[in-house]
Structure 1
């Protein structure tokens, strides 16, 4: 790519060029026949930003609060797994980015950095993604670690009683 990426598709192409195929496929793939992934992309394509003209926009404030925490805009970092596949600092770098942007990061249960490493990295407001395990003591220990390390909320995820067949991961072994 000759210049800096300026849109999502160009960032995706940049990632394709620098990540090993297996990692790129992990980040861009979905489960089963990728129906939900395709529907999500289509839903985002339907979002239209309505321009305002002849309106004073010199003092726009997009700040809002979420669970009592003030953030710079109604955007937060969702729990996504395995950041170190794309960057050596992994979720620590993501937490620092969240702090710099004054937003909330939800640390994935499948993080490549520990709860403690992320907590020590910066002062971002952090939530923790929790899956409830059959062995409830495992879930309880994770909640206690998150609480001890200053995480402010638990984001309960219930979509994995059975993992989807991620075809690219199967092909990449």
Structure 2
């Protein structure tokens, strides 16, 4: 009788283990679904955090860029007060700029006479820029002569 009882117990334990396994297996899809949802939520949070960091980085870099540009402008203004710097800067700039970067709009579409009329009131740097551009491109004596006259008349004007 002890053997029969132990056999029954063993059989019941095996059936119980199988039932537990079946119950556990039924919950796996739900657990996997919850795990997938949690994964999706974490991925969304990570994406949001990444976007926040990106925006913050852009703001920091934008502020730094503006600060550098401001400081460079200040240094440039101070450097232009040194005799000859504004002239050299304008001449060098004039040799590399495009017509649309000149202080006179539609420069290449204007005649020498029209350009001469628009030179009055420009800074030494701007005049030197135009002179450099003019020498590189058309080298019109009328324009270059007028620039020389204006530069001779206004030695103190540097900006």
Indicate the TM-score class for this superposition, using the shorter chain for normalisation.
under 0.3
- TM-score normalized by the length of structure 1: 0.24
The answer to which structure has the higher helix fraction is 2
- TM-score normalized by the length of structure 2: 0.26
The answer to which structure has the higher strand fraction is 1
Point out the structure with max Rg over C-alpha.
2
